[in-house]
C-alpha cells in the first residue's frame, strides 16, 4: 500500500507507451507496465530510478481474462487505480480487397476490445474510489480514415465512441474519460517509410515535422490530470490538413 497514485499503461514496452509510463513516473505515480511479449529491463530501471515503484505485468489485453489479471495485479500491489492509459495497439495494414478476416479481427480485438476489457475491470474499482482518470489513445486515422487501414481506422474510431459513452456513465462518480488522437509521431514505423512518402506527409503538417513520443506523453498526463475535462478527444497532429 502507498499514498502515491497508481497509473496503468498498456503497451508500455516501447514508443508512445514507454514515454507515457516515464511521464507518469516523473509525476510521482507508481507505474504498472503492461506488455505483450517482453519489457526491457532498462525501462523498469528508468522508472524506478525516478523514485517510484514499478510493476511489470505481461499479458495480451485483447483477452478478457488477461485484462482482468492486469487490473487485479495492480489493485493487489498498490490498493488503488488512479490512472488507466489504454495505449496498446497493433497494425495489420492492407487494402480492404485483400484484407483477411484475421487481420481485421486481430486489430479490433487489441486496439478496441482491449480498451473495453481494461475499462470493464477497472471501472468498478474507480467507482468505489469515486475517482479516477481513463485516457484512451486513439488516432487521427480514427477521425479521418486512411487508405489501407480500414481495420485500424475502425478500431480507433470505435475508441472515440467508447470514450464518449463511458464518460457519460462514470462521470457522476468523479471519473474522467478522454481520448488523445496523435498524428504522425516519430517512431520505428515512421523511420522505415520511403523518403517520398515522408516528404508528402510533412507537406500536410503545418509544423513541418513529426511529433515526438514525449509530446504525446505530456498531453496524456495533462488530460489525465484535468478534473473538469471529460468525453473529449484531443488531437495532437501538428496542424495536419
Check residue 36 and report its DSSP letter: S
For 8, the enclosing helix (H) or strand (E) is: strand 6-9
Give the separation between CA 11 and CA 128, rounded to whole angstroms. 26
Query: What are the strands of the beta sheet with 54-58, ordered from one edge?
Result: 54-58, 30-35, 6-9, 83-86, 132-137, 175-182, 233-236
Count other Cβ atoms within 10 Å, centred on residue 85. Answer: 32
Where does 72-166 show beta strands of DSSP type E?
83-86, 132-137
Q: Could you list the active site residues?
A: 152
Amino acid at each position: 500500500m502507498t499514498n502515491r497514485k497508481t497509473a496503468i499503461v498498456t503497451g508500455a514496452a516501447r514508443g508512445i507507451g514507454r514515454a507515457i509510463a516515464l511521464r507518469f513516473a516523473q509525476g510521482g505515480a507508481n507505474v504498472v507496465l503492461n506488455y505483450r511479449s517482453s519489457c526491457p529491463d532498462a525501462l523498469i530501471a528508468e522508472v524506478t530510478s525516478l523514485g517510484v515503484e514499478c510493476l511489470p505485468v505481461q499479458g495480451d489485453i485483447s483477452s478478457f481474462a488477461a485484462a482482468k489479471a492486469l487490473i487485479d495485479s495492480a489493485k493487489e500491489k498498490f490498493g488503488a487505480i488512479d490512472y488507466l492509459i489504454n495505449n496498446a495497439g497493433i497494425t495489420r495494414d492492407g487494402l480492404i480487397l485483400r484484407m483477411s478476416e484475421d487481420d481485421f479481427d486481430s486489430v479490433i480485438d487489441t486496439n478496441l476490445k482491449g480498451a473495453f476489457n481494461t475499462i470493464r475491470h477497472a471501472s468498478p474499482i474507480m467507482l468505489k474510489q469515486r475517482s479516477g482518470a481513463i485516457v484512451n489513445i486513439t488516432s487521427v486515422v480514427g477521425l479521418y480514415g486512411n487508405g489501407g487501414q480500414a481495420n485500424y481506422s475502425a478500431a480507433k474510431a470505435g475508441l472515440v465512441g467508447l470514450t464518449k459513452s463511458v464518460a457519460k456513465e462514470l462521470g457522476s462518480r468523479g471519473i474522467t474519460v478522454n481520448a488523445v488522437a496523435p498524428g504522425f509521431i516519430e517512431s520505428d514505423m515512421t523511420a522505415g517509410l520511403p523518403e517520398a512518402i515522408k516528404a508528402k506527409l510533412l507537406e500536410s503538417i503545418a509544423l513541418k515535422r513529426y511529433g515526438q513520443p514525449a509530446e504525446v506523453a505530456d498531453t496524456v498526463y495533462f488530460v489525465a490530470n484535468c478534473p473538469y475535462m471529460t468525453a473529449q478527444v484531443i488531437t495532437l497532429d501538428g496542424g495536419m490538413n
